[in-house]
Amino acid sequence: MKPVLTATFRKRFPGGPEIAAQDLAIGSGVTVLFGASGSGKTTLLRCLAGLETPDTGEIKFGEEVWFQQSGKRKAESENQFLPSRKRGVGFVPQDYALFPHLTVAGNVRYGLPELPAAERAARVAESLRWLGLDGLAHRLPCELSGGQQQRVALARAVVRRPRLLLLDEPLAALDTPTRLRLRGELRQLLRQLSRPTLLVTHDRLEALALGDDVVVLHDGRNVQHGPTAEVFSRPVNLAVAEITAVETIQAGKLLEVRDGLATVAVGDARLTALATGLPADVRDVYVCIRAEDVILVRAGQVPSSPRNQLPATVRTLTADGPLLRVQLECGFPLTALLTRPACDELALQPGTPVFALVKAPQVHLIPFAR
């Protein structure tokens, strides 16, 4: 599918970091810009919106040039910058930026000064109805809940029928219960809107819940881009593995590759993994295993299907929201994530012997030098 937005540019801050988008190609659906705080997510979003001007590079929407600057001295006509108001972008900032003195209808109507009054009123009513804000048109922002304010900000962005929607941490200002509740609601709204969307977050669960694709940013650069599940399960290097919070990352030695399977020594254990994409001469690797891919069973309950069946001992159990994070020793430190009923059924406590099961496709190998 041809990307709707392409960008390669650099933005430098005096005495600060450099943001360098390289061969960024955004398609339809929801693309998440993911990374730690300070990785450049908001700056990249603001450059695409036209709220910041890159120093060099190019931004294009389809065949339309939004920004072009070589960095060399050129005739003014050869450089281009399309102002934000002409890009057809809907932008929702982190704090929603609602005007406190305007009603809900007034905030949504603010972006439509050029339309006749009747059409403006119809557009506002349509947006409020679509976002479930009927009956709130005359309220002020201070009279709304966090979730309602979010929807007003989204209504103000979409009422202009933008070609591209940009959301900067849209759930960050909400308390945890509200944020959890609104993830699914926001995903449904974005699907109904059917507009190319870029959404900034540093929350892994948010990225998994909302994104069709994800762009991982590290030190101001996009370091991996692909389908969300693929990026989170198969990071291309150690930095991405750490950014995406892979729970188990251990150094290993590649012992053998045969029939598409790799045998790796990790501590005192041996693991089998898929050998897909490994360079022929690689020997040292990082072994990455997500906690949710580890299954625990007691002795006598081990099925025959998983290739990796590791005798293990429970070291600690730590609450992680509704789940329990189980730290294991199986020749190397390994983390599993289980529900409380599953832990109760296994009668897990420190010192409990178990078997840790991990299928070969869930063991991801990253060459040291990559």
Contact by Cβ (8 Å): 82, 65: yes
- The length of the chain in residues reads 370
pLDDT classification of 276: cutoffs 50, 70, 90: confident
Nearest to 42 by CA among 80, 4, 11, 67: 11
**Does the domain spanning 246-367 belong to CATH 2.60.40.420?**
no
Confidence tier at 71 by pLDDT (50, 70, 90)? low
Angle 121-136-104 from CA coordinates, rounded to 5°: 60
The pTM assigned to this predicted structure is 0.87
pLDDT per residue over 216-270, tens digit each? Answer: 999 999 999 999 999 999 999 999 999 999 999 999 999 999 999 999 999 999 9
Domain spans of the chain, in order of start = 5-239, 246-367
The domain 5-239 having CATH identifier 3.90.1150.10: the answer here is no
First to last CA, the chain: 28
